Structure 1
Amino acid sequence: MLNCKPVSTPMAAHFRLSSQQCPSTESKQTEMLKTPYASSVGCLMYAMVLTRLDLSDAVSMVSRFMSNPEKEHWRAVKWILRYLRGTTSYGLLYGGERANYNLVEGSVDSDYTGDLDNRRSLTCFLFTLNSCTISWKASLQSVVALSTTEAEYTAAAEAFKEAIWLRGMINELGYEQSSITILCDNQSAISLSKNQVHHEKTKHIDIKLHFIRLEVSKGTVKLVKVYTSNNVADMLTKPVPMAKFEHCLNLAGICRI
């Protein structure tokens, strides 16, 4: 892939990967054994976990088919490698010109029923410190959400747990931060975090998720509305247009080094 043609995003919208595409015959499975699918995805995971959070959605997608990949899955992996070929100098820049010396701030988003096989939604969040990302996650939710509100609320619960842990770490380092702001583009999830009244669309939501309300009432974490166009976590949920993707990279503190 050293001489491949670079692409501008880690995943394209035309990739609709599912387990139904996996090879069903032994001959096709044997043919796919010749491709270094597992080792390639493993290398991508290594890069994604350390510094390349922009790969989170793409790596999360291709890693679901490690046991029985098909040619379309392999083409998606090569697309990611083409993106990396054109962005080898990208990385997280701490303390650059963008640093405004704010403390921890988060963004959260979800992709409702993004998994084509089990219809589970995707939880995505990231946290920045002084305008550069320090923590991020993109993974499938353990249960099937019945609405976008539930999917967003479940994602917010995961982000709240991370926020509380980061707040404790920052305070132990001697930087007092009374509360952490998390940006969310779903008004229903924000309202649910503040409103104790149940209604038919939310009464089934697991009680363990409502610890969000406790933390909001205590002022430990604040869930604040942000427009989708400025929600940096949106790039972790699905393929986005190049202009939006570059804007999210800038918000996350990823640039040429």
Structure 2
Amino acid sequence: MDFNEDWIDQTLFIKSQKGHILLVQIYVDDIIFGSTKKELCDEFEKLMKDKFQMSSMGELTFFLGLQVQQRKKGIFISQDKYVHEILRKFNYTDVKSASTPTDLEKPLVKDADADDVDEHLYRSMIGSLMYLTASRPDIMFAVCACARFQVSPKTSHLLAVKRIFRYLKGKPSLGLWYSKDSPLELVAYTDSDYAGAILDRKSTTGGCQFLGNRLISWQCKKQTVVATSTTEAEYVAAANCCGQVLWIQNQLLDYGYNFMNTVIYIDNTSTICIIENPVQHSKTKHIEIRHHFIRDCNAKKLIQMAKIDTQLNVADLLTKGFDAGRFQYLVSSIGMLNP
């Protein structure tokens, strides 16, 4: 069988045949494969069994901690077994559940006068939660915020981590739903929480990318420089989202899908004006050059920026904490649900 190695992911191999594709993903000694034509899967399975001493595990149900439920109307991905495992590991199976992973009344600060906690325990809890963010973008912001205090964690920081576990106790089976009937269209959302990090007043970048209504990628990261305005923080976040969109576009090109001129939704009008205006304004000269490539991408029609109301910007979930009502709305809006 003639395969082409994906130039972005060198562990992914693609075979095209008369309008159908076969995808083969390799991880160490495990192989996942799928195709738009069942005969191609059967042919590849027979080839592997003939050439190597390999056994087929059948339809994909579990991989690297991810549980995969394939249904008639779509695919549901979750990690509820892993959630129950870490709840038992850290003795949180009998705690009172929380409605959100963050406590708005207790913002995280350095808290130098508070008592120290076991840093090895704290880092172990953070590590366990970071692995869970592979399918749980709802806890992404809270985990990233707590991860910033791993050097010298205090009691207040440990309480914030415990809050995340209490939230998981109440929502252990929450996962991502990938509908079969969703349109195949690449769209993205970007947002920023201006000066949200109390310690150094750096902003937080949030971004998420969808194929139709299927969430396929998300980001939450503290920016490396202190933004001097909301527009600058939003501009840096938009550039970060643009970079991720370009990566996805190139990946999908290998599958035979062209999604150029992808719409990126943002709730800041000034950022859109700066990106679309070819004139280098004096007020934006201080923004690092590496972020200005988004202008070039916009000029080449690789992406296009579109204004969206703040209340509808789902990337907001990855930049700050919310009350229970707003939080639940955003979680459901990105396609997360209970099985």
Structure (1 or 2) with the greater strand fraction = 2
Aligned residue in 2 for 1:17: 108
> Shift in Å at residue 103 of structure 1?
2.0
Counting only pairs closer than 5 Å after superposition, residues 69-84 of structure 1 correspond to structure 2 as 69-84=153-168
Post-superposition CA distance 1:41-94 (Å, at most 9, x none): 11111101x100111110111000111111111110111011111111100111
Q: Is the counterpart of residue 165 in structure 1 residue 254 in structure 2?
A: no
8 Å CA contact retained: 1:229, 1:244: no
Paired letter, 2:211: L
SS of residue in 2 equivalent to 1:223? strand
> Shift in Å at residue 35 of structure 1?
7.8
8 Å CA contact retained: 1:112, 1:147: yes
Paired letter, 1:211: F
Distance 2:283 2:106 in 1: 32
Aligned residue in 2 for 1:7: 98
Paired letter, 1:10: P
SS of residue in 1 equivalent to 2:226? coil
Q: Is the counterpart of residue 56 in structure 1 residue 147 in structure 2?
A: no
SS of residue in 2 equivalent to 1:211? helix
Q: Is the counterpart of residue 255 in structure 1 residue 337 in structure 2?
A: yes
> Shift in Å at residue 199 of structure 1?
3.8
Which of 39, 53, 61 is 2:124 aligned to? 39
SS of residue in 2 equivalent to 1:61? helix
> Shift in Å at residue 7 of structure 1?
1.4
Aligned residue in 1 for 2:202: 120
Aligned residue in 2 for 1:227: 309
Paired letter, 2:279: V
Distance 1:143 1:228 in 2: 24
Moved more, 145-154 or 202-211: 202-211
Q: Is the counterpart of residue 133 in structure 1 residue 215 in structure 2?
A: yes
Q: Is the counterpart of residue 88 in structure 1 residue 172 in structure 2?
A: yes
SS of residue in 2 equivalent to 1:110? strand
Distance 1:200 1:153 in 2: 15
8 Å CA contact retained: 2:119, 2:150: no
Paired letter, 1:61: A
Which of 322, 326, 329 is 1:240 aligned to? 322
Runs ≥4 in structure 1, deviation > 4 angstroms? Answer: none
Paired letter, 2:124: S
Distance 2:184 2:331 in 1: 18
8 Å CA contact retained: 2:119, 2:153: no
Higher RCO, 1 or 2 (CA under 8 Å, sep at least 6)?
A: 1
Q: Tell me, which stretches of 5 or more residues in structure 2 are unaligned?
A: 1-91
Q: Is the counterpart of residue 152 in structure 1 residue 227 in structure 2?
A: no
8 Å CA contact retained: 1:103, 1:129: yes
Paired letter, 1:138: C
Distance 1:34 1:247 in 2: 35
Distance 2:282 2:98 in 1: 45
Distance 2:226 2:119 in 1: 35
Report % sequence identity: 36
8 Å CA contact retained: 1:22, 1:69: no
Calculate the aligned-residue CA RMSD, in Å.
Answer: 1.6
Using structure 2 for the length normalisation, give the TM-score. 0.70
Distance 2:251 2:119 in 1: 46
8 Å CA contact retained: 1:22, 1:68: no
Distance 2:204 2:119 in 1: 31
Which of 272, 279, 293 is 1:197 aligned to? 279
SS of residue in 2 equivalent to 1:65? coil
Q: Which one has a bigger Cα radius of gyration?
A: 2
Distance 2:314 2:167 in 1: 19
SS of residue in 2 equivalent to 1:94? strand
8 Å CA contact retained: 1:109, 1:125: yes
Q: Tell me, which stretches of 5 or more residues in structure 1 are unaligned?
A: none
Structure (1 or 2) with the greater helix fraction = 1
Moved more, 207-216 or 62-71: 207-216
Using structure 1 for the length normalisation, give the TM-score. 0.91
Aligned residue in 2 for 1:143: 225
Aligned residue in 1 for 2:88: none
Alpha carbons of 1:189 and 1:23: their partners in 2 closer, same or farther (altered >3 Å)? same
Alpha carbons of 1:23 and 1:132: their partners in 2 closer, same or farther (altered >3 Å)? farther
Distance 1:110 1:214 in 2: 21
